Structure 1
Amino acid sequence: MTECNRCNRYFNTSNAYYQHIANSANHNICDACNLDFTTWTGLKEHWVQSTRHMYCQQCNEHYGGRAELDRHYDVAHSWCSACRVIFTNDIGLKEHYRQSPLHHYCQPCNKLFGSASNLTSHLNSSTHRPKDVACPGGCGGKFVSRSALVLHLENGACASGINRNMVNRVVRQYDTSNIITDPARLIGGGPGTAQQEVTYIATAASWNGQGFQCYLCNKVHSSLRGLNQHLASPKHQDEIYVCRGSACGQRFRVLSALVAHIESEKCGISKFRYVQSTMDSLLGQMGRLTF
């Protein structure tokens, strides 16, 4: 005879004993782990906590692996994949995104971002901000941010004819305290010296038999025009702009990149009034350029 100690019962055959184990509420078997739990709740808790089981408690379903279980969560449940938490509905999930410091969440757009700076850039975009920064060049253009305005000027898109070289010239002339520039990298930055930009120009001599090769970085272009466009870009310009944040010091080749960095609030430098006043002063000078 076979005895079930838990139920204090005896069985004449092994088959009868195993039939009892399979049907009794006192026995809840995990076949994969060969464990017997006294309650159904205990068995479910084991499936939930064990790394061996890919188990959805809400659906009482097992899955073949973590990726398969995650796909099920994505389709069937309101869950946060980063925190691995399932919520009753989407309202609870969105509230979790809104309150959690681990998530960078735009509530009006119901959209998550990978970093605080990316969220700030989104909130500063035309999606959430009006185009109320007027171009000082007189072209009538309006922009959502000062960085967008500076990029407009640097790209030569303004009808006034202002371009990147002119923007840099204004910065050299008026940023005498080097709030946003590195004097060691400025060409002609001292008083009374020429205010010049280095201009690289390629000729047909840059043909290497396969394409037109940049003599600074060795990148090959299919046309001479393409190579000269590459040389005219900020790619090989000095990083004359610098963030003066105490824990930053990041450098940039163009003013628009520095302004975008400041606007992102990534390093907190935007909180300092002297930085904002410097930027306002420089942008005010752009409209005074004469050609």
Structure 2
Amino acid sequence: MNTIGPYLVQKPTILDIPSPGPTTAHACTLCSRFFVSQSALYSHFRFSTQHEWCEKCSRVFVPTAARDAHFRESSRHNICPTCGRLQDFDTPAELARHLEEFHFCCTSCSPYVYHDSPEELRRHDVAQHNLCIKCGDYFGNANNLLMHQQRHQPRTMRCYGCDHTFKSFSGMLIHLESGACASQMTEDQIDALAHRCYQSRKYVLRGLDGGEGWMYKCPTCYREFMKLSALYQHAEDVMDCGHGCLDKLQVWIAKCV
């Protein structure tokens, strides 16, 4: 009961209503009124014009400024620091949504970063928090965002040997390596083309089986791959691993298929 503040008194008393014996009366010292139960006292605090009531904390305040200071200082309340009016949101998530929608505020930054428009906030989220503008998801780093964005890519890569379309060059290579293309291109033929390209020393390694077949390496990080399609998937997924020799190999394959 001591959370209500200094305006409550509890004391044994004989009430003017029939009862088995002495009971406890609850008094509001601000109004000099007694109540037979805590619920009756709380109801009085809610509706009286003589004082201010905080429902969330079950506390009464005098004057209004004291309640407003409580709202701003208490961690149990979610007060907008920007609005002129005092509005207590039910949850921190609702407050964060309000700050974003009405004040263009990034609550992920500490301290908060305010912007002049929703477009400026979106550009900030893309640059600083790896926001995918297609679906609204956030990612831990730029590479994860880049990998995710491939899901949204249209099928604009037309197969060099048939009319099938793909989202990426690596997807088309998987198709060619599988032997399912109408051009009847095979994985061995793709490997041979990659070897004959004048840039091959930058991305081709001898296989571990005495030279039969080829193993590929990333020309940037030197990670090794058994298939050319896997090398290109890696280059497409890892932002820092793009390399001009792979672009030249792609042009070379387009001419030869």
Q: Normalising TM by the smaller chain, what interval? A: 0.5 to 0.7
Identity within the alignment, % = 19
**Residue 77 of structure 1 contacts residue 87 of structure 1 at CA under 8 Å; is this kept in 2?**
no
- Whether 1:43 aligns to 2:16 is no
Q: How does 1:90-101 map to 2 (within 5 A)?
A: 92=118, 95-100=120-125, 101=127
**Residue 105 of structure 1 contacts residue 113 of structure 1 at CA under 8 Å; is this kept in 2?**
yes
Residue 23 of structure 2 aligns with which residue?
Answer: none
Structure with the larger RCO, 1 or 2 (CA within 8 Å, 6+ apart):
1
Q: What is the CA–CA distance in structure 2 between the aligned matches of 1:36 and 1:180, rounded to whole Å? A: 77
**Residue 153 of structure 1 contacts residue 164 of structure 1 at CA under 8 Å; is this kept in 2?**
yes
- Whether 1:260 aligns to 2:233 is yes
Residue 60 of structure 1 aligns with which residue?
Answer: 88
Q: How does 1:192-203 map to 2 (within 5 A)?
A: 195-196=212-213
Where 1:41 maps in the other structure, the secondary structure is helix
Residue 146 of structure 2 aligns with which residue?
Answer: 120
Unaligned runs of 5+ in 2: 1-5, 12-25, 33-44, 81-86
**Residue 103 of structure 1 contacts residue 112 of structure 1 at CA under 8 Å; is this kept in 2?**
no
Residue 182 of structure 1 aligns with which residue?
Answer: 205
Counterpart residue identity of residue 124, structure 2: Q
Q: Per the alignment, do residues 83 and 74 of structure 1 end up closer, same or farther by CA in structure 2, a change over 3 Å counting?
A: closer
Residue 84 of structure 2 aligns with which residue?
Answer: none
Deviation at 1:150, TM superposition (A): 0.8
Q: How does 1:203-242 map to 2 (within 5 A)?
A: 240-242=215-217
Return the index of the structure with the highest Cα Rg: 2
**Residue 175 of structure 1 contacts residue 181 of structure 1 at CA under 8 Å; is this kept in 2?**
no
Counterpart residue identity of residue 164, structure 1: E
Match for 1:278 among 229, 249, 255? 249
Q: What is the CA–CA distance in structure 1 between the aligned matches of 2:198 and 2:208, rounded to whole Å? A: 11
Match for 2:131 among 99, 102, 105? 105
Q: Per the alignment, do residues 29 and 75 of structure 1 end up closer, same or farther by CA in structure 2, a change over 3 Å counting?
A: closer
Residue 159 of structure 2 aligns with which residue?
Answer: 135
Q: How many residues are matched? A: 204
Q: Per the alignment, do residues 84 and 45 of structure 1 end up closer, same or farther by CA in structure 2, a change over 3 Å counting?
A: farther
Q: Per the alignment, do residues 252 and 99 of structure 1 end up closer, same or farther by CA in structure 2, a change over 3 Å counting?
A: same
Counterpart residue identity of residue 88, structure 2: N
**Residue 131 of structure 2 contacts residue 145 of structure 2 at CA under 8 Å; is this kept in 1?**
yes
Unaligned runs of 5+ in 1: 1-5, 64-68, 190-194, 198-239
Q: What is the CA–CA distance in structure 1 between the aligned matches of 2:56 and 2:62, rounded to whole Å? A: 6
Q: Per the alignment, do residues 34 and 257 of structure 1 end up closer, same or farther by CA in structure 2, a change over 3 Å counting?
A: farther
Q: Per the alignment, do residues 187 and 45 of structure 1 end up closer, same or farther by CA in structure 2, a change over 3 Å counting?
A: same
Give the TM-score, by structure 1 length. Answer: 0.51
Where 1:158 maps in the other structure, the secondary structure is coil
